[in-house]
Amino acid sequence: GQVTFIETCGTVHEVEIAKGSTLLDAAIQNSIPGMPGACGGDAVCATCHCTVEDEWLNKLPEMSEDEFFMLQSMDDHQPNSRLGCQIRMKDDLDGMIVIVQDN
Ligand code: FES
């Protein structure tokens, strides 16, 4: 499927992402700035913090407790914040728009 990553500075990256891959995987493969994934995808570093546009928000998998508490601990978390490493691509997420949050 296709995902559009938008940096907070406005730069847009449209990338292909394989089903089952995470947003973090796609960001790393496509060298998208702002998503280094420092913990390797274990929901403990929050460097993959992103916000997801409403249209796709309720199609996302539910948050694990780890993801929830990690996000709550961040000063800049928003109602539509998620950790990119916890979101795997599936058919109904095709076309999703994600804002990459600064660390
Ligand atoms: Fe560390 Fe997602 S890569 S929380």
pLDDT in the model for residue 97:
97
Is 82:52 a contact under the CB 8 Å cutoff? yes
| Domain ranges (residues) in the chain | 2-100
In tens digits, the chain (103 residues) has pLDDT values of: 999 999 999 999 999 999 999 999 999 999 999 999 999 999 999 999 999 999 999 999 999 999 999 999 999 999 999 999 999 999 999 999 999 998 7
pLDDT in the model for residue 102:
85
Largest CA distance in the chain: 32
The verdict on pTM exceeding 0.90 is yes
Question: 88 - beta bridge partners?
Answer: 22
Class of domain 2-100 as given by CATH? alpha beta
Question: Considering only CA atoms, which residue is closest to atom 4 of ligand 1?
Answer: 43
Q: How far is CA 57 from the centre of its chain?
A: 11
Burial pattern 39-59, b for ≥16 Cβ within 10 A else e, equals: bebebebbbbbbbbeeebeee
Instruction: State the closest ligand 1 atom to the C-alpha of 39, by its place in the atom list counted from 1.
Output: 1
Pocket of ligand 1 contains residue 74 by CB under 6 Å? no
